[in-house]
A and B are shown apart, each in its own frame.
Chain A
Amino acid sequence: MSKIAIISQPEQGVLIDVGGCSTLKEALEHLSGTLQSSNQFWKGSKVLFGLGALELTVNQAAQVLAIGKGVGVFPDEVFSSSAKTRAAFAEQGAKVIDKIPMSLPKIKLEMPKGDIPFAEADEADEQPAHHAANKKAPQAVSDITLLEVDTIEVDPEDEVEGQDKKDVLKESTIDGAPVDGAHLPQVLYVKQTLRSGQTVSHKGDLVIVGDVNPGAEIMAEGDITVWGSLRGIAHAGVGGNSEAEIRALNLQPIQIRIASAIARAPDRPRISYASGTGPETARIVEGKIRIQKSKAD
């Protein structure tokens, strides 16, 4: 389980979010570990702490600030969804906020002059080498840079009784309503058929187990995988990741968007949806969205 996210945006500063930790002890460890591991990095940039829903007393808040002080950092803003924690930090002289300070970048599409091009079908089979190259390192997604992701197993003894043990998602939305918990580029699984008018957006990779019907819209900063038929609109690589891919068992979308590229389905009349295409993948090749058949065997 990922416990900590660091999100950096040029205009908004750097957010160190330990809200994914279930105990204060753990949060403190991560915070001090992160600050000390790269203490040169923080100089001159605006630093924000994110504490999620953790409840802290005044003393504990002082402890958090002391860790920062050790490396010469005093947070410009402290985010917490707990009123108690906010009050504790306010008493220590820190500026507190109750909203997640970092948000998804605005979607910008380059509108083609004239007509929107087709998604061109590529008869060649998917090349595994190309696939592997995509997966090498976490890609810098436009102005959001992921610096470090720490993965640590929770010791059951660290758990405080009565505290919610499960990690909740943030900032992903279904139908516009925020789903808590997706600071990290992680995978959101949606096991349902998305019908016309429904939307899912996610900061990481998105997997839909079910169909995406015409009129539904799905968006992700990373890849989109549909274990079913994709017939609506899919936008992968939101924010600029042109390496993002869209794959589906049955790829019949109205539109495909990857990063700022956009392609539409051909104008042939569509009355029968029953015949499938077999698994296919859409990706950007030489600036154009291409669709390639995925090898079945």
Chain B
Amino acid sequence: MSGRVIVITSGKGGVGKTTASANIGVALASTGVSVALVDMDIGLRNLDILMGLENRVVYNLVDVVEERCKLRQALVKDKKLPNLSLLPAAQTRDKSAVTADQMKKLCEELKAMYDFVLVDSPAGIEQGFQNAVAGAEEAIVITTPEMSAVRDADRIIGLLEARKDEIKEYRLVLNRYRPTMVANNDMMSVDDVLEILSVKLLGVVPEDEDIIVSTNKGEPVSGTDNIRSGLAYRNIARRIRGEEVPIMDLDVKNPTWMSKIVSFFNPTVRV
């Protein structure tokens, strides 16, 4: 078996890399393929918390690299999905604990064991990022519709393009999208962001309070039905697998007086 190694990265912190990693991991595994989630944020590990697996972590990525344990021992199986595993980061070390070559080797090993290897990159463009992209062949760039996040995403895309021998494909996920703000011209629209970044769009995830609840519970939203952001992540997983799934229509059209009357009488019709 030779799986696909996909790095999830953003440049800017706090845009939802780890949340996206957990959700895409769960959504992919739900489709039946085997998935390994790799937390590369050494020293600031979070992915185990989002997955609700913190209390099962015994060994970590650095232990594997430094050969204190076998790779299989460090992989923590998900509570619900037996085909989903997490390779946690070390919390008591820092980014310099591993090298890019060691990561490459590790990704090769994981590729042989899983259909998908998702690498959650730390924020920044320093060694942590370099290590995270070292073994990857594809990238998912996460950004939010904010100038600063888009600027950092642009920087990251530049760095990924510079590695075009290794990174064959990169696509964008626009996270924390607020259609009402976009309608009021208070937020960049999907088209605005794509205009600047000129990159393939993998998905748009709406802002959702359920994300906070799910983070605290340790249950990613993509594992739950009836949550809009969860559906967005499930769609993203299907697109990663090659399915043609249209981007959810999130935009609120500017209501005209005519459309207001129509929707007043027939609320299901969206004009």
Q: Are A214 and B216 in contact (CB under 8 A)?
A: no
Query: A111-B73, A254-B54 in contact; A215/B216 too (CB < 8 A)?
Result: no
Q: State the CA gap A109–B218 with chains docked (Å).
A: 26
Residue of B nearest to A214 (CB): B54
Q: State the CA gap A116–B216 with chains docked (Å).
A: 21
Q: Are B91 and A215 in contact (CB under 8 A)?
A: yes
Interchain CB contact (< 8 A) of B218 among A175, A215, A255, A267: A267
Best-buried of A109, A115, A215 by chain B (most CB within 10 Å): A215
CB-CB under 8 A from B216, the residues of chain A are: 269, 271
Question: What's the interface size class on A, roughly?
Answer: 20 to 34
Q: Are A217 and B55 in contact (CB under 8 A)?
A: no
Chain B 233-269, CB within 8 Å of chain A: the 1/0 string? 0000000000000000000000000000000000000
Q: Does A264 contact B (CB under 8 A)?
A: yes
CB-CB under 8 A from B199, the residues of chain A are: none
Kindly identify, within residues 259 to 273 of chain A, every residue whose CB is under 8 Å from any CB belonging to chain B: 262, 264-267, 269, 271
Interface of B is mostly: loop
Question: What's the interface size class on B, roughly?
Answer: 10 to 19
Q: Are B56 and A217 in contact (CB under 8 A)?
A: no
Q: Are B56 and A198 in contact (CB under 8 A)?
A: no
Minimum Cβ distance to chain B for residue A184 (Å)? 26
Q: Are B91 and A254 in contact (CB under 8 A)?
A: no
Q: State the CA gap A266–B218 with chains docked (Å).
A: 13
Q: State the CA gap A186–B130 with chains docked (Å).
A: 44
Q: Are B92 and A269 in contact (CB under 8 A)?
A: no
Query: A214-B54, A254-B54, A254-B55 in contact; A267/B79 too (CB < 8 A)?
Result: yes
Chain B 178-217, CB within 8 Å of chain A: the 1/0 string? 0000000000000000000000000000000000000011
Q: List 18 A-B contacts (CB under 8 A).
A: A111-B73, A115-B56, A176-B92, A196-B91, A197-B43, A197-B44, A197-B91, A198-B92, A199-B92, A215-B91, A217-B91, A217-B92, A255-B57, A266-B55, A267-B79, A267-B218, A269-B52, A269-B217
> With A197-B44, A265-B55 given, can you name 15 additional A-B contacts, CB distance below 8 Å?
A176-B92, A197-B43, A197-B91, A197-B92, A198-B92, A215-B91, A217-B92, A254-B54, A254-B55, A264-B55, A266-B55, A267-B52, A269-B217, A269-B218, A271-B216
